[in-house]
Structure 1
Amino acid sequence: MDTHVRLEPWGEDDFWLLERKNTPEMTAHLGGPETAEKLASRQRRYAAMSAGAPEAGRMFKVVLVETGETAGSVGYWPRVWDGEDVYETGWGVLPEFQGRGVAVAAARAVVAHVGALDAARAVHAFPSVDHAASNAVCRAAGFRLLGTTDFEYPPGHWHPTHNWRSTPPPP
């Protein structure tokens, strides 16, 4: 059974969540912890995404319905992949909520959100090939593994990732 989550738009007061997720353990597959300046820039981008057009992407807090606790974040943003307009997604769940299906529920919820926005546009996730937990989330959330590719993240750093694709369900 899925953990029940709701997605809430990222807000001006959500910087604390970026700080909580900025640990060596949480960022091991993302290039490591970011500087205070990079976190502040990320906070401005995330808040701007929530205030802009949904087609330009969104960042959300992942909130547990049962308790109202913020368990992590999930988002989507447009990109061109192999000549196709798609959305990329990514998520992060705080350690105390990991292993409870939160990331799977959040990934499914963001795919459903994208489907309601643009049913024709697929959602891709690109976890590192050695990131077992994120690859398991993709599988459990209904993404289909298309193969392995070299992916640049953070900018200037290429590494092998899995290319997972989920076509949003019709609204």
Structure 2
Amino acid sequence: MDERDVEQVRLVPWSDGDFWLLQRANSPAMTEHLGGPESVEKLADRHRRYVEPFAGRMYRVTLADTGETVGSIGHWEREWHGEQVWETGWGILPEFQGRGLAATAARALVDVVRRRAAQGGHPALHAFPAADHAASNGVCRKAGFTLLGQVDFEYPKGNPIRSNDWYVDLLTDPVAGG
């Protein structure tokens, strides 16, 4: 990981004032691989979940030099193959896509979640982008995730998709090699 890249973005904990970002990202283009846009009521429910304390955390992704919001990223608990793991997902606003910001934010999130794992948190972080979503799979690859293979997945609930299972071992120190 290049520290200069991670310094391009900041992860700002989600707050009451961030509902606009959910609304902005609720377009057909941004939700194409996520089951499509949600109703205002579902967005409001999602926002409440992001603001209330929960085991994971959502963040606004901002540019480090200007503070401008470029998207969101987060992690939450999921049971996967009989164990608790972290899952992550992200969305970068269209005008900021193609600059490597999602991969940079994902590397920064891995650092955050790795610190939690070292303090007794879950040992793994997974991402499950649709198998045909080239951009999100590219983010996983650039952020240092390992592809475990394709899996059948539901997102949102009731919407079956074929996903790639990308994985980061949070207990392995990437610098020391283990």
TM-score by length of 1: 0.93
**Residue matched to 1:60:** 59
Runs of 4+ in 1 over 6 A off after TM superposition: none
Aligned length: 166
Deviations 1:3-62 (A, max 9, x none): 6111011000000000110000000000000001001111101111xxx26xx0000000
SS in 2 for 1:113: helix
Q: Does 1:103 align with 2:102?
A: yes
* Pairwise CA RMSD: 1.5
Of residues 129, 143, 155, the one that matches 1:127 is 129
2:27 to 19, 23, 30: 23
Unaligned runs of 5+ in 2: none
Q: Give the Cα separation in 1 of the matches to 2:82 and 2:63.
A: 37
TM-score by length of 2: 0.89
The equivalent of 2:17 in structure 1 is: 13
Which residue number corresponds to residue 144 of structure 2? 142
Alpha-carbon separation, structure 2, partners of 1:20 and 1:157: 23
SS of the residue 2:16 aligns to: coil
Contact 1:105 1:141 in 2 (8 A): yes
The alignment-based identity, stated in percent, is 59
**Aligned to 1:156, what secondary structure does the other structure show?**
coil
2:129 corresponds to 1:117? no
